[in-house]
Amino acid sequence: MEETSQQNKKVVYSAVQPSGNLTIGNYVGSIRNWIDMQDDYTCYFAIANMHAITVRQDPALLRRHTLELAALYIACGLDPEKCALYVQSMVPQHAELCWTLNTVTYVGEMQRMTQFKDKSAKHADNINMGLMDYPVLMAADILLYLADYVPVGADQTQHVEIARDIAIRFNNRFGETFRVPEALIVKQGAKIMSLQEPTKKMSKSDENINASVYLSDDKDTVIRKFKRAVTDSDNRIVASEEKPGVSNLLAIYCAFRGCTLEAAEKEFEGRGYGDFKLAVGETVADAIAPVQAEQKRLLVDKTYLNGVLKEGAERAFKTARRTLNKVYRKVGFYQGE
């Protein structure tokens, strides 16, 4: 990244948690959309391992998932020469800024966050402070790099909104410091639903493995999961609120095919669910196969991956340090003479 040519470019920031096998939702809702941004924006793409430990993780698995995610980012088309690709915990300013932002964030607003409420219900025996603080750490991620845009799935809109509120509040109290970021949500695939309970989001932490299609699933598994997907009994392939299962399959098909809903409905007019599910399964399996092959190839070369992550962290660190110094000055922290 040439320092001077970067200066006028808008900044993009996003991240994924290395908290399990990634789903096709993570792919079409976020990572895939980052690829085209690399040339036109200054991009930071992180592996949010500090967010991941807000629910219990096996340490060895967390480390492995971190490297797998780095390889996946590159396999999907991220170019480490063009963007800073790094691991969140390797840049200490994330935690440091989070602490400062905690003091301009209210407990009540965190308790009202949808994800906090959902995760508290799901992990009732582990409602830790980190879980409640999750959105503030996410705000710190975004604000440290003065990001203009945050490409995420629809479920993250509320978190980007709170990052905006925190930025505005800090700026009002201490003077212009942060840029107010904007969420970028794709038109197709912003919220892929579970194949088993299509009114619920597809999630990498779903206990029912048939509910999610993982980016690591082989072709047979992908096709089997789509075959078993919950639909309804009226056998019409159209999207509507009363048909969440079929609507979700159509949305997945469109996201992977790059076609409109109308075109997909027309294509499957008069055909049965069996045919339709097979077509969706094959489309998805064929699209993810090259990504899987490339990820596998990259994972063999740990030296390369370690190098990429080290360099990414160094780049991120430079910007993060600059912003944090400014924040510390603004809040009145003594920083030596």
Name the residue nearer to ligand TYM (CB basis): 5 or 76. Answer: 76
Question: From CA 49, how far away is CA 256, in angstroms rounded?
Answer: 28
Beta bridge partners of 85: 45
* Binding of ligand TYM by 142 (CB under 6 A): yes
**Residue 219: active-site member:** no
| Closest CB to ligand TYM: residue number | 29
Q: Choose, from 9, 82, 119, 191, the residue flagged as catalytic.
A: 119
Among 11, 14, 252, 264, binds ligand TYM (CB under 6 A): 14
Would you say 97 and 16 are in contact if contact means Cβ atoms under 8 Å apart?
no
In the complex, least distance from residue 53 CB atom to ligand TYM, rounded to whole angstroms:
12
* Binding of ligand TYM by 119 (CB under 6 A): no
**Residue 318: active-site member:** no
Would you say 43 and 3 are in contact if contact means Cβ atoms under 8 Å apart?
no
* Binding of ligand TYM by 16 (CB under 6 A): yes
**Residue 204: active-site member:** yes
Both structure tokens of 240: 């509507």
Where in 194-233 is the site for ligand TYM (CB under 6 A)? Answer: 201-202
* Binding of ligand TYM by 138 (CB under 6 A): yes
Question: From CA 221, how far away is CA 235, in angstroms rounded?
Answer: 24
Question: From CA 102, how far away is CA 110, in angstroms rounded?
Answer: 10
Q: Choose, from 204, 225, 243, 277, the residue flagged as catalytic.
A: 204
* Binding of ligand TYM by 247 (CB under 6 A): no
Closest-CA residue to 133 (of 12, 23, 50, 14)? 50
Both structure tokens of 242: 């009363």
Name the residue nearer to ligand TYM (CB basis): 29 or 281. Answer: 29
Among 32, 44, 49, 51, binds ligand TYM (CB under 6 A): 51
Would you say 176 and 330 are in contact if contact means Cβ atoms under 8 Å apart?
no
Among 191, 219, 322, 326, binds ligand TYM (CB under 6 A): 191
Closest-CA residue to 193 (of 178, 212, 177, 174)? 212
Among 30, 49, 188, 247, binds ligand TYM (CB under 6 A): 30
Which residue carries 């980190």 as its tokens?
130
Q: Choose, from 9, 122, 201, 302, the residue flagged as catalytic.
A: 201
Question: From CA 218, how far away is CA 275, in angstroms rounded?
Answer: 20
Both structure tokens of 66: 């971190």
* Binding of ligand TYM by 312 (CB under 6 A): no
Rounded to whole angstroms, the maximal C-alpha distance in the chain is 76
Name the residue nearer to ligand TYM (CB basis): 193 or 308. Answer: 193
Residues within the interface to ligand TYM (CB under 6 A): 13-17, 25-26, 29-30, 48, 51, 138, 141-142, 150, 152-153, 155-156, 159, 189-192, 201-202
